[in-house]
Structure 1
Amino acid sequence: FNLNHMNKAQLIGNLTKDVELRNTPGGKIVGSATLATNKVVTDQAGNKNKYTTFHNLVIWGKAAEIIAQYAHKGSKLYIEGEIENRSYDGKDGVKRYVTEIIVREFEFLDSRQSDSPAAAPKKPQETEQGEEEEIRVENIPF
């Protein structure tokens, strides 16, 4: 653990759609999803304004399978991971920039998950380290 450098994001929010699972050309499983987080800001007039931020998630391996199985659109999740910026050339030739959260740990926060006998674990789950593989442009979901 290096205190001189840290790249860590902690989010609590809701999935905007079900996790999309794919296999990389190397045969590894990767999931993508979007997590929405909300904040309410009171302006000078006392009006409350709600703002939503959308976070692109990349989930590798078994963690992707577990989240895809137990979480669905609207599910509340705790996500912990690293912020990663990357760029790619779109089909129109324009360079695009993307910020993603590479999920390292997660926890289901909906009570619905605890209703199932095969419920997902209560404590945060760590994803397998070293599974990352380059995502090719043709595999980008957006």
Structure 2
Amino acid sequence: MNKIIILGRLVRNPELKKTEDGERVFTRFTVAVEQNFKAIDGTRKADFIPVIVWGKKAEIICKYLKKSDFISVSGRLRACSYDDAEGKRKYIAEVVAEDFKFITYNKKEVENEILDQVE
């Protein structure tokens, strides 16, 4: 089973992108997830987890969320490797989001848009 759930804050504003062929849209962003324990100096550290979201879900995230908003993401962990331009092997691990929930967002803006679509 490959299932992951994270809860954290967006590190920067998500941006909508298209694949090279222009057929699909996606967004990549990083979620800062606070660790469950404190460091020796009493501070909490965070893990910075890369996430990719495809299609309509990516459009929704880019439209409503911004840097520092809380988001919950569930999906699967994808790990792969490739050779960069210099021929060095690079490894990537990222969450491929299947579902998400807004924990914080501009509720008024979303409600107004839904009302506009109904009218």
Q: If the TM-score is normalised by the length of the shorter chain, which range does it land in?
A: 0.7 to 0.9
Q: Give the TM-score normalised by the residue count of structure 2.
A: 0.84
Per-residue Cα deviation, 1:61-91 (whole angstroms, up to 9, x for no partner): 0000100010011110010010000111122
The structural deviation recorded for 1:113 is 2.7
How many angstroms does 1:115 deviate by? 1.9
2:11 alignment partner in structure 1: 16
1:121-136 map, 5 Å: none
The one-letter code matched in structure 1 to 2:9 is N
1:35 alignment counterpart: 31
Shift of 1:48: 2.3
- C-alpha RMSD of the superposition: 1.7
Aligned pair count reads: 111
Going by fraction, where is strand more abundant, 1 or 2?
2
The alignment-based identity, stated in percent, is 26
Long gaps (5+) in structure 1:
1-5, 120-142
User: d(CA) in 1 for partners of 2:38 and 2:9?
Assistant: 22
- Deviation for aligned residue 1:93: 1.8
- CA contact 1:40–1:48 (8 Å) conserved in 2: no
Structure 1 residue aligned with 2:61: 67
Higher normalized helix content (fraction of residues): 2
How far, CA to CA, are the matches of 1:20 and 1:87 in structure 2?
24
